Amino acid sequence: MKYMLMMQGTSSGWEALASWTPEELRAHIEFMQGFAAMLAQAGELVLAEGLDLPLNAKIVKAGPGGKALVTDGPFPETKEFLAGFWIVDVISPARAIEIAAAASAAPGPGGKPLAIPIEVRAVGSAPEV
């Protein structure tokens, strides 16, 4: 079964990164890279990506004639957003939850686990027609 594990971020979390030491930031990035490598070696990783800062996001809707209507996004009052994701292919929902819990424990300042919220959602398929 495939699951998407979505790492939630907050505006205050992004702002706090400025106070992390280079060593703390390096430890966090090395954790994430090692975590993805471990999932790949286990044959469970389909795809993993961190996302750009929300201030660089664009919201796109189809306008008249299908022309793209583009606005900046998310909106300034947005306090939570998608920071990154993993798509995993695992044997059970319990394994997807186990992986999400491990990702949530990524180190932050002082090496303390961040307890990052991770949404776990099964990847669906289109209904048969």
Task: Tell me the pLDDT of the chain (129 aa) as tens digits.
Answer: 999 999 998 878 888 888 999 999 999 999 999 999 999 999 999 999 999 888 788 889 999 999 999 988 766 667 788 899 999 999 999 999 999 999 999 999 999 999 999 999 999 887 887
> Cα(115)–Cα(128) distance, rounded to whole angstroms?
39
Give pLDDT, residue 75. 62
Q: pTM for this one?
A: 0.86
User: Measured at the alpha carbon of residue 24, what is the angle toward residues 20 and 26, in degrees to the nearest 5?
Assistant: 115
Specify if 127 maps to a domain.
no
Specify if 107 maps to a domain.
yes
> What token pair was written down for 10?
């907050």
- Residue (of 107, 122, 97) closest to 33 by Cα position: 107
DSSP string, 48-77: EEE---GGG-EEEEE-GGG-EEEEE-S-TT
Structural domain range at position 20: 2-122
Specify if 109 maps to a domain.
yes
Tokens 């090496």 correspond to what residue?
A: 111
CATH number of the CATH domain containing 71: 3.30.70.1060
Specify if 54 maps to a domain.
yes
Number of domains in the chain: 1
Specify if 128 maps to a domain.
no
